[in-house]
Structures are given as structure tokens and as C-alpha cells.
Structure 1
Amino acid sequence: MKTLYLRIVVTFVLISLVSSLFALWIAGFYYQSQLKDENERKVTRIGEEIRALYGQTSGLDFDVYLKHIANMGFQIYAVNERLEGAYYGRPFKHEKLEPEQIRNVLAGGTYDGIRKERGLLLGFFENSLRNSVGLPIQVGEQSYALFIRPDLEQQIGEIRLFMAVLMGVAFMSSVALIVIFSRSIVRPVKHLTRATHQIVGGHYDVALNVSRRDEIGNLARDFTAMAQSLKQLDEMRQEFVANVSHEIQSPLTSIQGFAQTILDREATPEEAERYLTIIVKESNRLSSLSKQLLTLAALDKEAGLIRKTPFRLDEQIRQALIVTEWQWSEKRLNVEPELAEIVVSADPQLLYQVWFNLIVNAIKFSRPGGTIRIETAVEREVAVTVTDTGIGIGEEELPHIFERFYKADKSRTPARSGSGLGLAIVRRIVELHGGSVSVSSNPGEGSAFTVRLPYR
């Protein structure tokens, strides 16, 4: 089946048919096990009353009598001693009966055909001579075998027709309703399919107006949210590529220009030395950028990246201060570490990158002679705060400083350089450890970055 709609309709129709057949089989089983014996006894009593009533009459023609009985809603087969039989009422569909069974009734026995007949479904409706009750009856000096069963076509024919029409209408109505409601199920799926094709084509602005509150409605809403997420990711990807291109192109242009000037021998020895210094600086900048991009790419993979082990956090922060000593000493900064002895379970290599980036960031934005304070505290979690007395960050820029390639207002610090990836790396590493990082700042007074990590 090529379409979900056709598959749903056919499935429901088959279920309806199978359910109807199963219900009919259950009804037949119930008749065979619970009603059949009672029905046989009832027909036997009627046959005995017919025989008794004929015995109480005198001079009544036996043939006429059976015709009257048949007209009251019975099928009758009367057989004499010479096995000559006659039918009264609606004929039987199957008229075969063994001679031994007839002779047994003629000899005074009975025939319990209704009890013996076992139809696949409702044997009660089987219009067969075998599905009857046989009684002996005396007509004058001659014995007859009288086989009788209710004529269901005459007694309940209208009801059977009514039930057949009712079931037919019910079935056709069910099919019609299935066709209609299947459309309501398939329609949003078709919308989802078209939306999927749009997303494959790169068009992420899809809106599914589905007001349903079932699983399909939830799927449609989740799909819309996914489309918006993909749109944001695509925009971030394009922005990332543009930023990387810009960050790489800028130093490459400087390197190319100064190198070409030196090759053309248009610079004095002093100028050539200065140009070479700039080339080395820009090369280092490219190297740092590539390392940070590789770090972010590795952090984005997440799975299996974190290798946690217990270590002294205060010792690690002191190591970062020692490594950066030449930088904060060059700016004559006062560094005030207030570090308690704390053991944490984390990835030492990754967490060292957090303290290194935050300390370098504080050094970069601090004025000469300023102060950098690093404090640790332990309650339910470990808190590390790096505070500087630098230029600060504007309130409008605070929500964006952890974004990749974001750089604060350059008008306040025109001399500073950087890729805008350091704080993005800090946040990513802290999040991978199940922690958080926040910042508070006052322009002109300084900033405070606080990292919170799970304790042990």
C-alpha cells in the first residue's frame, strides 16, 4: 500500500470484518454450548403437543392437519411404514435422511437431530432435514414418522432481514466514518511530510497550525520547535563561518601586506624589524585562534570527553597564577588569592583551561596597578570568583559575553585583541561538569566572574 491513508482505511475495514466474524463465531459457540439442548427440548415438546392434539381429534384428515400445522410456522416431513414421505410447509434445503433413522422413529423411538447437528456457526438456522426432531405418530392403524422443526423464515424472517439490513448499514456507516476520520489522522501527517521536504530544501520557516492535543498534535508542535532550532543552528553556523573567516582573514591580510613590503625591499631595516614583529604577533594570533577552535570542536562532541579525577582545586588555581605571572607582573597588578583547601572531582586539564582563561581575561581588562582577587567558597557546591578592577562591561553586553566570537565595545579598549572564544570555552567546560558561570560588572569599576561546580 502506497499511502498511509489507504493503509489505515483497509486496516480498519479488515478489523471490522474480523471482529464481525469473531462475534458470529462466539454466538455460534454460545448457541452450541448453552442454547442447543434447550431448543431441542422445546421443539420436542411442540412435536408432542402436535401429536397429542391429533390424537384428541376424530375424523380429521391427517394430510390437512399437517398442512394447518405447517401454516403456523413449521416445516414437517411425514413418512409412512413404506418409507413414502411427504413435505409440508417450506421445503428443506437438504432432504437426505438415513433409512435406519426413519425406521427407528417408526418403531417408537425418537430422532434428536437438532442436538446432533453441529454447524460451524449458528446450527440452529441450518435448513436441513437432519436438523429436526423426529417423533412417531399413529394415524389410524398406520404408523408415521413425523420430523418437525420451526420454519424460521416464516417465524422470524422479517427480524432476520431487519438485522441483516441493520448490520449492513452499521458496517457501511463504519466504513464511511473510518474514511472520514482517517483523513483527519493523515492530514497533519501530510503537512509534516511537506514541512520535512521544506526543511530538506533549506527552508526552516515552517508553521504547522495543528490544534490537536493528541500524540499527532504533540508531534507537530515538537516538529515546529525542531524547525526553529534548526533555523537557529543554521544561522549560528553561517555566523560562525563568517566570524571565523573574518578572524582569519584579518591577520592573514596583515601578514601578507607586511611580508610583501619586506620582499619588495621598500622598508628600512628598522621598519622591516617592526614588520617582522607584527608578522610574528599575527601568526601567534592565528595559532591561538586555531587552538581555541579545536578546543570548542572537541567540547561540542561531549560524549566520553570528561575524565573526572579527585584533585586539589586551590593548587590548580595557584598553578594558573604562576603560569600567568609574567603577564600580571608586567602590568604591576596586585593578585590576591584567597583559596581554601578544596578537593573536587573533575577533569583537571579542562578545568585548568577555565581558570587560565578567566585570569588572562582579568589581566587583559585591568588597568596597570589594579587588583585581581580570586576567592573560593564551599557550601552545597564549590564557588570560585575571579574579580578584577578593570574597565567593566556594559549592562547591555552582559547577556552576550559568553557567545562565540562576541567582543565587547571596542571604543573603551581599542588596544585589546582576542578571538572572542575564551569565555565561550569557559562556559562550555563548566556546563559539561554540571556547573554554571555568571558575571556581574560595573563599567569603570571592574567585573566578577563566578564559577559554580558540584562539590565532589
Structure 2
Amino acid sequence: MFLTLAAFVGLAVVLVGLYVFIVLKAEVREALEDTLKQRAQRIALIIEQAETREEREDVVQSLAQYADIRISILDENAMIWDAIGNHLSLGAMQAGGPPLERLIEGGDPVIEVYNEGGIHTHFVTLRLQGSRLSIRVGQPSPPLLGLVQQMRTTLIVGMIMALFLALLGSWISAQLVTVPLQKIRKSARSISEGDLDSQILVDSRASELQDLTSSLNRMSDSFKEKIENLERMASLQNEFIGNVSHEVRNPIFAVGGFLEALAVPGMSDAQRELYAEKALANLQRLTNLFNDLIEIARLEYREDLVHREPFNISQLIEEVVEVLRPKAGEKNVYIDVRMENLDVDADRNRIRQVLINLVENAIAYSDSGTITVDAHRHGDKVRIEIDDEGRGMSPEHLERIFDRFYRVDPDRSRKSGGTGLGLSIVKQILQAHGEPIVVESHHGVGSRFQFELPYALPINESDAVEVGIT
């Protein structure tokens, strides 16, 4: 980058230098020659107008003295007149100046530069049309020409300084750009090699570089987050596959064992019936597991499986409680229902599944006591709470109870026929409704699961409102 800038700047300075040395010098020289020619012609006209020799002498001597020039004349009698200052020589040339041959030859105006003692004198030799006089006028270099020479020298020095400053500025500018870019490249290489915690830090006032740095850092953070999510998903996937294989393998082995036992000769009918019932129970458990897995997959990848419509949540809770009350009675657990007559806007079948899973979970982890199901109005929502007086959970379990196959007490869950997916399905269904689920639990005291659903006006009331408006 620096070499490119230096090349452009150097080319510009060279072009300007060529103009100063060639074009400007030629123009100044041409202008000086034109001025000398015009002056020599005027002097020749003045001398031509002198009628007598004495007048011509006076004119030549006066012009040479007051104009500070040298005038040389070759008259019609081949007489040489040479005046320098106030001294006039007749018949011979004074010392200095170009040779006499040019004056004798005559012809078109000719300009010559002669150096006398370090002083440059410009001579113009000419003969007017129709005149018999050949005139040569010599004039030292005018002060303007010296000023032009000084200006040219100053310009050359200025261009050299400008070239130096331009190169210095180009180098500084290149450093201000390339150094941050090198840092960015180094940081990007570190990130590409796996150092995702590396941040790109650039000390630059250029807004473009700052924006580039910020964009690259955001991109790095995004990549880091996505990679972490992929790693977490891969870990969860491995854990999920391991859990599924474990959950599937146990019932299959149990069924195989019971079927082999049935083939043993001499077994009583009661034993055969017992083994057959246990094999069927494990097959049912396997069926429930696959059904729950399919249900979770459908909820995760098909949002349209939730069909909202107003329904009476109180009636639904009564239905669920009536179905599960016998199961609770087997463990001396009483289900208490406390609720208002309320309607909600949700998917009735999905919410029924949520209630069944939550109440069954409360029954599974309760050895006695009461399970309370409460539904009441809470703003524009209906809050449903399921409280139990079971074993409860310690805080480290609360963050994972909605994970697939996670069990607070694995032995108790398997004995009750649970698959470890019930609470995960509950969370998926409520997320599909756009609602969270909250759990509170204390070890040895019990647990409370709480969620909300949008409140809906009862059908009779909504009809009345429509009729009133009509």
C-alpha cells in the first residue's frame, strides 16, 4: 500500500518538475526573446530617423547610456559603431560580445547569449526591411529573469520537500491502515483456529475500522454462541439417545425374560398368568414411551398441532380428577378441587394432557396427603395450580425436571410406569400456547406446579354481548 502511494506521489512530482524545467523555462525564454526583438526594432527605427551623422552619434550614445544597453551598428559605408554606456567607438568593435561576422552578415533577427565575467548578456542582431543598417542590441539578463530562476529553484526545493512530506504522510497513512488490518487478520486467524474467546482490539480513530472491528466481534460472538448451542445440542442428543436406548432396552429385556420363563415346563397356571401380565405391562410401558416420544417430536416441529377454542376449564379439571381419583386412592392420596367456573381459550385436548401429566406426577411422588387442584381468575388469565404434599425436591433438581428422561427418583418413577417424558411434554404443550410453567418445591414438604391460560368469556355471555351490540 505504501509503495502504491509513493509511486503516485513520485509520478506527480516528476511531472511537475518536468513542467518547471522544460515548459516553464521555454516559455520564459521565448517571452524574453520577444521582448528583446521588439526593443531592438524600436531602437533601430529611432536610429534610422537620424538625418546626419552627428545626430546618429548623439542618438546611439544617449540610448546606450540611459537604457544601459550596448548598441553596435554597421552603417551603409561599412562603418562600425559600437556604444557601451557613455563610450562610443567608431571604426572598431570594443572588447567583449559576439564575433563581428554576425553583424556583417545581417539577415533575420538572431538572438545570442554571451557570458562576460559571469554576467549573461543577450544580443539581438537584425536589419530592418529596406534599411542599409545592421543593428545589434545587447542587454544584460533582466532582474525578472533572475527572479524566475530563483522561483524555479524554490519550486524545485519545494517539490523535493513536498515529495518527502508526501512520502512521510503516505507511510504514516499506510501504517494507520495496515497495522489495524494486521491486528484484525491476526485475531481472525486465532478465531479460525478455535480461539473463540479472542476479541479483536484495534486502536484507531477511523470509524470504518471501528465499524469493521465491531462487526467482526459480533460475528465472532455469534459464531461462538452457535457453536456452543451446537455442542450443547450434540451433548443433549447423545444423552437423549443413551436415555432412549436405556429406556427401550429394559422393557425389551424384561419381556424377553418373561417369555422365556413361560416356556419353562412344569410352571403353574398362576405363575404363567403372573409372567404374562408382567410382560404385557412392560410392552405397555414401551408403547407409552414411543407414544410420548412421537408426541414430543410433533409438538417441537409442528406448531399447528395446537388448535385454540374457548372451553370450560372447570369441567375439564373435573373430568381429569374423576379419571385419576382411583389411582390416587390406591396410595391413600386425596384430590381436592378448588376452582371457579371459568372458560379459557386453548386447545382442550392438549390442556387435558397437561393436567393428567401434572396430577399423575403428583400422585407418583406422594405417599399420602392431599393433592389440591385450584383454578381461579388472575387478571386476563386463568391460573391453574397443582399442589401436593409429597416428597418434594431439592433446589438442584428444579432446573432439570423438564428435561427428557430426567427423574428425581428413578426407581419410584419406573415402578409407577412413568417414562420420564411427562413433564417435558407439559412444557412443550404450554410453550406451544405461549405460556410458561412455574414450579416451586421444598424437600419433604411438597411441590406446586403453576401455569396460566388466556381467559375467555363464557359462551352465554359472549352471545349476550353480541346481541346487545346488534
Q: With structure 1 as the length reference, what TM-score do the two structures score?
A: 0.62
> 2:69 maps to what in 1?
60
**How far does residue 249 in structure 1 lie from its aligned partner after superposition?**
0.8
Classify the secondary structure of the residue corresponding to 1:345.
strand
CA distance in 2, matches of 1:327, 1:274: 21
Q: How has the CA–CA distance of structure 1 residues 371 and 431 changed in structure 2, closer, same or farther, with 3 Å as cutoff? A: closer
Contact 2:346 2:453 in 1 (8 A): no
Q: Are the equivalent residues in 1 in contact too, given 2:371–2:386 (CA < 8 A)?
A: no
1:184 maps to amino acid = K
Percent identity of paired positions between Structure 1 and Structure 2: 23
Which sits farther off after the overlay, 227-236 or 278-287? 227-236
Partner of 1:257: 257
Residues 1:210 and 2:199 aligned together: yes
Residue 406 of structure 1, CA deviation: 1.3
Residues 142-183 of structure 1 deviation map (CA, whole Å, 9 limit, x = unaligned): 9xxxxx996764441111222123223332443355433221
Structure 1 counterpart of 2:317, one-letter code: I
Q: Is the 8 A contact 2:255 2:282 kept in 1?
A: yes
Residue of structure 2 in register with 1:98 after alignment: none
Q: CA deviation at 1:357?
A: 0.8
Provide closer, same or farther for how the CA distance between residues 447 and 19 of structure 1 changes in structure 2, counting only shifts above 3 A. Answer: farther
Q: Distance in 2 between matches of 1:87 and 1:264?
A: 139
Gaps of 5+ in 2: 17-27, 43-62, 73-106, 114-134, 138-144, 202-212, 457-470
TM-score (ref. length: structure 2) = 0.60
Alignment gaps of 5+ in structure 1: 1-8, 29-42, 64-81, 89-139, 143-147, 196-205
The whole-number CA distance in structure 2 between the counterparts of 1:388 and 1:397 is 17
Q: Distance in 1 between matches of 2:379 and 2:200?
A: 47
- 1:354 positional shift: 1.2
Q: Which residue of 1 aligns with 2:363?
A: 363
Deviation at 1:351, TM superposition (A): 2.6
Shift of 1:235: 1.9
Decide whether the 8 Å contact of 1:311 with 1:344 is kept in 2: yes
Query: Taking structure 1 as reference, are residues 414 and 232 closer, same or farther at Cα in structure 2, changes over 3 Å only?
Result: closer
Residues in 2 aligned to 1:231 and 1:397: alpha-carbon distance in whole angstroms: 23
Q: Provide closer, same or farther for how the CA distance between residues 310 and 167 of structure 1 changes in structure 2, counting only shifts above 3 A.
A: farther
Find the residue that maps to 2:262 and give its secondary structure. Answer: helix
**Residue 353 of structure 1 aligns with which residue?**
353
Q: Distance in 1 between matches of 2:335 and 2:450?
A: 17
CA displacement, residues 65-94 of structure 1 (integer Å, 9 cap, x when unaligned): xxxxxxxxxxxxxxxxx9867598xxxxxx
Query: Is the CA contact 1:313–1:343 (under 8 Å) kept in the aligned structure 2?
Result: yes
Q: What letter matches 2:389 in structure 1? A: T
How far apart, in 1, do the equivalents of 2:288 and 2:274 lie? 21
Q: Deviations over 1:404-450 (max 9, x none)?
A: 21112357788433121111221232233332222233444432211
Distance 1:61 1:322 in 2: 139
SS of aligned partner of 1:156: helix
Tell me if the contact between 2:338 and 2:372 (Cα under 8 Å) persists in the aligned partners: no
Rg (Cα) greater in structure: 2
Q: Could you say what the CA RMSD is over the residues aligned between the two structures, in angstroms?
A: 4.4
Q: Is the 8 Å Cα contact of residues 373 and 384 (structure 2) preserved in structure 1?
A: no
Deviations 1:200-256 (A, max 9, x none): xxxxxx553326373333333443344333332222222111111111111111001
Count residues in correspondence.
344
Aligned to 2:163: 164
Indicate how the Cα distance of structure 1 residues 264 and 161 shifts in structure 2: closer, same or farther if over 3 A, else same.
same
Kept in 2: contact 1:308–1:347 (CA 8 A): yes
